[in-house]
Amino acid sequence: MQIIITGGAGFLGQRLAKALLNSSLVFEELLLVDLILPTNPGNDDRVRCLQINLSAEGAAKSIVTSRTGLLFHLAAVVSSQAEKEFDLGWSVNLDSSRHLLEACRHQQPGIRFVFASGFAVYGGELPAVVDERTVITPRSSYGIQKAIVELLVNDYSRKNFVDGRVLRLPTICVRPGRPNQAASSFVSSIIREPIHGETAICPVSPDLTVLVSSPNTIIRNILHGATLESTAFGDWRTVNLPGISVTIREMLDSLGRHTDRKTANRVEFRPDPAVHAIVSSWPTAVDNTRSLQLGFSADGDFDGFVRQFLAEE
């Protein structure tokens, strides 16, 4: 069997690749594809890396074959970038997704298709607690693009063109590396940069609540979502992955407990209305009943996030 990861050069794609290589899942090839050439995370002979633009006509059909049994679609233009670069967002987030679904449909019907969505599909006036049946009213181009692909995956699954699984990921914290163009990038920056002795800029109020999940839990849940029997999902293939709700102030308090107050004080608050408008439209309280019943994992308190990042440094 061949496994494909789109967005294979990114943080999440590389982590997922490592986890797959160390898992009990049997496969002959792990194909990592991205706009930039991915690296082989384990120097494993089963890994093949390919630089490709999946929004280009014919690109998706060139990678999906009769050997493909599992596809993780992680590639995306992130929230703030999709808002600023409208055409690019639609090309990458929608067109490439549609091309991949069509390739699966025609090349190898029934492929397990794991789509990484997010809570940006929600927005506007939300109930106090959301679940998978809450009406989605996204307030960003990124959220709308993700919502459309969610519906496509569900329809292609209904028609048995793919065995789809839509996983809505909370904001991942703490990401290593440098900030990206996601509106939520600051959620990792305000922990990561101070630990590295650098000043971080927080564009939102310290009282803003965010929904987060740690890298280890996200990877564990993506793998779990890929290995569940299709019948477990019922008639709707979309699942809200568990996250924890925490304020920016609580995050910095945790940082101070695990380092020192000097480190936590390396965060400067500079309001950015554009970022605040996007991030504050996302839900912060989620009913995880369905995801927990399906066996997905939840983090504990935010202290565990900081400990995880410090352990990996």
Q: What is the DSSP string of 136-179?
A: P---SHHHHHHHHHHHHHHHHHHTTSEEEEEEEEPEE-S--SS-
Query: What is this structure's pTM?
Result: 0.95
* 2-169+214-240 and 185-211+244-285+300-312, same CATH topology: no
Q: Mark whether 122 is an active-site residue.
A: no
Measured between alpha carbons, how far is 82 from 88 in angstroms, rounded to an integer? Answer: 7
Q: Is 38 in contact with 53 (CB distance < 8 Å)? A: no
Burial class (CB in 10 A: 0-12, 13-18, 19+), 141: buried
Pairing between β-strand 171-172 and β-strand 111-118 as defined by DSSP bridges: unpaired
pLDDT in the model for residue 263: 93
Q: pLDDT 10s per residue in the chain (313 long)?
A: 999 999 999 999 999 999 999 999 999 999 999 999 999 998 899 999 999 999 999 999 999 999 999 999 999 998 889 899 999 999 999 999 999 999 999 999 999 999 999 999 999 889 999 999 999 999 999 999 999 999 999 999 999 999 999 999 999 999 998 888 788 999 999 999 999 999 999 999 999 999 999 999 999 999 999 999 999 999 999 999 999 999 999 999 999 999 988 999 999 999 999 999 989 989 999 999 999 999 999 999 999 999 999 999 8
pLDDT in the model for residue 71: 99
Domain ranges of the chain: 2-169+214-240, 185-211+244-285+300-312
Measured between alpha carbons, how far is 172 from 12 in angstroms, rounded to an integer? Answer: 9
CATH code matching the domain that covers 185-211+244-285+300-312, chosen among 3.40.50.10860, 3.90.25.10, 3.40.50.620, 1.20.1090.10: 3.90.25.10
Out of 113, 142, 302, 309, the active site residue is: 142
b/e sequence 98-120, b meaning 16+ C-beta within 10 Å: ebbbbbbbebbeebbbbbbbbbb
Measured between alpha carbons, how far is 179 from 192 in angstroms, rounded to an integer? Answer: 10
Q: Is 151 in contact with 238 (CB distance < 8 Å)? A: no
Give the domain 2-169+214-240 fold. Answer: Rossmann fold (3.40.50)
